Structure 1
Amino acid sequence: MINHELKIAFEEYDAITELNPADEHLCLESVKALVNSHSPYSKFRVGVAMQLQSGKIIHASNQENVAYPSGLCAERVALFYWGANHPDDPIETMAITAQTDEFLITKPITSCGSCLQVLAEYEKMQNQQINIILYCQQGPIWKMKGIHNQLPFLFFEDRLITQ
């Protein structure tokens, strides 16, 4: 038998003002993205702001549908938009925030497994890790580099890709 141990790494900040100015700005942009959330069923709004290498910022929000699960999480909306429109402009940082009128969110909200898997593939596609900021507006902020810190056993098989 062989015992293995996995470690993840992330930074935790107590306030947005502890972040560098670019990350602080991106977190505030993710809050702006909440406005376009279509979440009448869950009432749980998620906003994403992605900074590309060129400096362009992409905004996205979750989009629900009465024919659940036809909707999409904010992360996949942002990533699919990037893949369709800016695949040659690598994603550097992605800030994610959430808000609801139903209760106070006091810890960072992590992405669902489907979003993490898509993020893993797009990170591999651009051959560059993505900085991820989980911005809790009323609590700590977590920042990590690369998807492996959230999804250590991602599914990927290089032989499935034909070129």
Structure 2
Amino acid sequence: MKDIKIESILTVYDNIEELPEEVSNLMDHAMLARKNSYSPYSKFSVGAAILLDNHQIVLGSNQENASYPSGLCAERTAIYYAGSQFPEAKILKMAIIAGSRIHQTMTPIPPCGACRQAIAEYEVKQDAPIEIYFMGETGKVVKSHSLANLLPLVFDKSVL
């Protein structure tokens, strides 16, 4: 028996103003996407913006349903749209802004497990990392250089 140590390295920015201009612009798009959230049940709205290697920016917002499992997160809304509309493009970066409509959310909110798995599929498919930036409504922004950094023991086609 042996122990295996798994580490994730994240970069933390104090606020959006510290980000490179390209990423700050992507965060602005995620903020706009968040306004299109349909979240009457959770009152938790999320916006995502994806930058593709063809310079297109794809947006997504969470879309809820009274039948809870039928809803979809912002990250998956955006990534599936990117995959269907630009199947040959690589995803370079993803920006996520999330927060409650009941109280101010200052804690950075990472993608949920289902979204991590969906992002992993595209990172493996394109054989290139996807930078992920996430934050609450205000405050610190966290950067992961890849999805594999957030989900190090990824389940992918190699195990099927």
* Shared fold (TM-score, shorter chain, > 0.5): yes
Q: Is the 8 A contact 2:45 2:101 kept in 1?
A: no
- In the TM superposition, residue 107 of structure 1 has moved relative to its aligned partner by 1.0
Q: Following the alignment from structure 1 to structure 2, what is the Cα–Cα distance between the partners of residues 28 and 47?
A: 10
Q: Structure 2: any 5+ residue segments left out of the alignment?
A: none
Shift of 1:99: 2.5
Distance 1:159 1:44 in 2: 35
Residue 91 (structure 1) aligned with residue 91 (structure 2)? yes
Is residue 2:45 matched to residue 1:42?
Answer: no
* Deviation for aligned residue 1:64: 0.3
Match of 1:62 in 2: 62
For 2:137 and 2:102, locate their aligned partners in 1 and report how far apart those are by CA, in whole Å: 15
1:159 shift after superposition: 5.8
CA distance in structure 1 between the aligned counterparts of 2:148 and 2:112, rounded to whole angstroms: 14
Residue aligned with 2:69, SS: coil
What is the aligned partner in structure 1 of residue 117 from structure 2? Answer: 117
Structure 1 equivalent of residue 81 of structure 2: 81
Please give the alpha-carbon distance, in whole angstroms, between the structure 2 residues aligned to 1:28 and 1:159: 38
The answer to whether 1:139 aligns with 2:139 is: yes
Which residue type is aligned with residue 30 of structure 1? A
Instruction: Give structure 1 regions of 4+ aligned residues with deviation exceeding 3 angstroms.
Output: none
Gaps of 5+ in 1: none
What's the Cα RMSD here? Answer: 1.1
Counterpart residue type for residue 118 of structure 1: A
Task: Look up the SS of the partner of 1:83 in the other structure.
Answer: helix
2:157 and 2:92 map into 1 onto residues whose CA distance is 24
1 CA distance for matches of 2:99 and 2:143?
A: 19
Between the two proteins, the alignment pairs up a number of residues equal to: 160
Q: Partners of 1:95 and 1:139 in 2: how far apart?
A: 14
After superposition, give the CA deviation of every residue in 1:45-66 in whole Å (9 maximum; x if it has no partner).
0000101111110011000001
Structure 2 SS opposite 1:105? coil
In 1, Cα distance between the equivalents of 2:47 and 2:28? 10
Do the aligned residues in 2 keep the contact of 1:52 with 1:91 (CA within 8 Å)?
Answer: yes
Structure 1 residues 50-91: Cα deviation after superposition (integer angstroms, max 9, x where no partner) = 011111100110000011110000111111111111121111
Contact 2:65/2:71, CA 8 A, preserved across alignment: yes
Secondary structure of 2:129's match? coil
What is the distance in 1 between the residues matched to 2:30 and 2:151?
22
Which residue identity lines up with residue 25 of structure 1 in the other structure? N
